[in-house]
Structure formats: C-alpha cells, structure tokens
C-alpha cells in the first residue's frame, strides 16, 4: 500500500510505484525525494518514509506530499533568505513550501575591498502561490579619512564633518580648504576633494598652520615677505612667514594709495595672531592733461600730474602766453580750485 504514487524502481526497473499486489521478494526502491510538476511554478515535493523495501508480506509506504511554489528572484548579488527560520543563500529563483514564511532581511554584500552593496527593499511574506521579487541594491564605497583634525566638507550640499565610513555611489563630496581652530588660527588643507563617488577613496590631506595678521587700518602697506618685495594686508599667513614692513606708498584702489609712515611691530615672524598698528595718510592721484601754474596748499607751483596727500588744496590759473611775433596761447583748465578727497581728472584747453 502507498498513499501517493511516485516513481522508483521495481527489481531495478524504473516504474511508477502504485498500490497493488507484488510478488513476495520484490525489491522496491524509492528516491529520498522526488517532485511532481503541476506547471512551471507549482510542484509537489514527495518524500517517502522508506526508500528500500523487500516484500516479505503486506507493506505500507507513506509519502509526505508538500505543495511548493516558485519564488522568482532577480538579484545582482547573492541573497541570504530565511525559510521558516532555516537560512539559505540564493543567487536566483527558488522553490518554497506552501504556507512557509519567507524572510529577506536587510543585508550587506561585500563586493570587493572598499566596495559593498546594501539591500534597500527587504521583504517578508507567507507563500500562498508563485511570487516575484526583484532585489534592489545600493552600491556604497568606503571613504578613509586620515587626519588628526576634523575635515569639514559639503556632502551632497550639506555642511558636515567628513569622517571615515561608507557613502552611497554618486555622493558628491567637496571638502573645505580650511579648518578653523579659533578665530585667529586655522589649518589650510591641500589637496581639496571635489568628487562624485565612483570608487573607494583614501583621503590624507596635507595641513598648513596659518595665523591671522591684522592691520589697524584697512590698507595695504609695502613689505618684504619671506625675502620678496610685496604688500602686506590684513589676512591669513602661513606659520613661519617672515615680514619686514617698509615706509612708503602702497596701492589701495585705482587712484588711491596709502603712504605708510610707521608700523608697530615693523618686523616679525608669524607664529600666532599679530596686530600691527600702522600710521600714515591717504594720497589721491591728481591727473591734469597739461601742467599749469597755480598753488598747492597756498604755495605757488607748476601743478603737474601726480600723487598728493588727502586734503591738499590745489588752485589752477588760466594764462596767456604771447610770442614775439604777436601770436600766443590761451590756457584754460576746466577747474580752478580742487580739494583732494578722491582721485581727480582735470582737462586743460589750449587755444
């Protein structure tokens, strides 16, 4: 007697084992498990309670019949799946018993060194029929930050501290060039990152210590900086920078300069915040197309183009030049009195 017919062998010959009479001594062999396919996504799993039987009398074989359904899976990477708490590793479709609880939990697959994939659509369901599941994976890359200071950055446009860790593919990372330790001390970071993640990154920036040098007035002053002639203004300078401030003229803007008369300290090496008290005055450029007679602060002079101290009062005279042959020139400036509080242009008509 067999409760459900299944294929096996009778005396070594393949046969469908059915209930019925068999001669004494008949050898019946059954596979440990077999399947009967109803259609492409539904089958019956057949498991007999015996697999080898020699008939010496009446016998009974009990076949456990379990319906199974096909779970069609599409996945780029292997998946850990629980079937009624029994774990299996799958790379594609699999069969599951009817009423079985299938759990596909959150999980991470290590693709290679510094690259992994994170499952973004975990699922859990009871099998009552065929089912489709498409695994959605998010690639991530490891960013290793090697620095004893907090590196600030914009991560997808959001200000944050860039730390070692996993970041999704396509993440936009732009590091800030500076790390501020206090209002007058900062670190200059090179190189700066400006990347869209498509691979792992090891970021070990170079760090330059900088200090703030502040002038008491919003001007630039002539100076020798690390042995080179230039101009010093309020701003950030590398630690160890050597500065020697010089007396003289320095440009402020077009037609505007500052004449430095003294500075304290006038010579220093940048190793901390430095406040420099500067003294001097502004000069403005006075432009005139033709020099004419006049006065500068009441002193008669031939007034020519050049730099003049702020507040200088210039008067310009019209004049007539007569030549022995009876001809002459009339010189007429378009201004007669000028107070220099900004750059000035004066045109002179000569007829």
pLDDT tens per residue, range 183-199: 999 999 999 999 999 99
Q: pLDDT band at residue 326, thresholds of 50, 70 and 90?
A: low
* Separation of alpha carbons 166 and 164, rounded Å: 7
Among 51, 34, 52, 31, residue whose Cα is nearest residue 43 = 34
Write out pLDDT tens, residues 156-192: 999 999 999 999 999 999 999 999 999 999 999 999 9
* Separation of alpha carbons 237 and 226, rounded Å: 11
Q: pLDDT band at residue 295, thresholds of 50, 70 and 90?
A: very high
Q: What is the DSSP string of 82-94?
A: EETTEEEEESS-E
Q: Is the pLDDT of residue 29 over 70?
A: yes
| Sheet containing 123-126: order of strands | 86-90, 79-83, 101-104, 123-126
Write out pLDDT tens, residues 103-149: 999 999 999 999 999 999 999 999 999 999 999 999 999 999 999 99
How much of the chain exceeds pLDDT 90, in percent? 88
Q: Is the pLDDT of residue 320 over 80?
A: no
Write out pLDDT tens, residues 217-245: 999 999 999 999 999 999 999 999 999 99
The DSSP symbol for 239 reads T
Q: Is the pLDDT of residue 323 over 70?
A: no
* Section 48-73 average pLDDT: 96
Q: Mean pLDDT across the chain, nearest whole number?
A: 94
* Separation of alpha carbons 179 and 176, rounded Å: 8
Tokens of 24: 């004494």
* Section 73-78 average pLDDT: 97
φ, ψ dihedrals at 340, nearest 5°: -80, 100
Q: pLDDT band at residue 290, thresholds of 50, 70 and 90?
A: confident
């Amino acid at each position: 007697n067999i409760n459900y017919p299944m294929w096996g062998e009778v005396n070594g010959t393949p046969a469908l084992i059915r209930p019925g009479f068999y001669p004494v001594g008949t050898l019946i062999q059954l596979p440990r498990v077999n399947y009967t396919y109803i259609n492409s996504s539904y089958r019956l799993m057949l498991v007999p309670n015996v697999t080898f039987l020699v008939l010496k009398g009446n016998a009974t074989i009990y076949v456990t019949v379990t319906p199974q359904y096909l779970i069609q899976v599409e996945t780029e990477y292997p998946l850990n799946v629980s079937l009624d708490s029994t774990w299996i590793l799958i790379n594609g479709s699999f069969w599951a018993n009817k009423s079985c609880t299938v759990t596909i939990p959150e999980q991470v697959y290590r693709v290679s060194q510094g690259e992994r994939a994170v499952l973004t659509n975990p699922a859990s369901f009871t099998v009552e029929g065929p089912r489709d599941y498409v695994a959605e994976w998010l690639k991530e890359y490891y960013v290793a930050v090697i620095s004893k200071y907090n590196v600030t950055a914009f991560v997808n446009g959001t200000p944050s501290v860039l730390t070692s860790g996993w970041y999704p593919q396509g993440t936009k990372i732009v590091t800030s060039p500076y790390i501020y330790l206090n209002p007058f001390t900062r670190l200059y970071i090179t190189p700066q990152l400006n990347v869209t993640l498509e691979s792992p990154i090891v970021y070990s920036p170079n760090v330059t210590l900088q200090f703030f040098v502040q002038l008491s007035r919003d001007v630039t002053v002539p100076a020798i900086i690390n042995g080179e002639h230039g101009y010093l203004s309020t701003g950030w300078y590398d630690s160890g920078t050597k500065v020697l401030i010089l007396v003289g003229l320095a440009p402020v803007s077009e037609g505007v300069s500052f004449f430095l008369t003294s500075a304290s300290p006038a010579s220093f090496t940048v190793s901390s915040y430095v406040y420099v008290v500067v003294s001097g005055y502004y000069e403005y450029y006075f432009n005139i197309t033709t020099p004419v007679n006049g006065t500068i602060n009441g002193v008669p002079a031939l007034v020519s183009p050049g730099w003049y101290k702020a507040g200088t009062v210039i008067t310009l005279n019209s004049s007539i030049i007569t030549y022995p042959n009876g001809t002459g020139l009339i010189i007429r400036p378009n201004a007669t009195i000028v107070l220099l509080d900004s750059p000035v242009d004066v045109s002179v008509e000569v007829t």
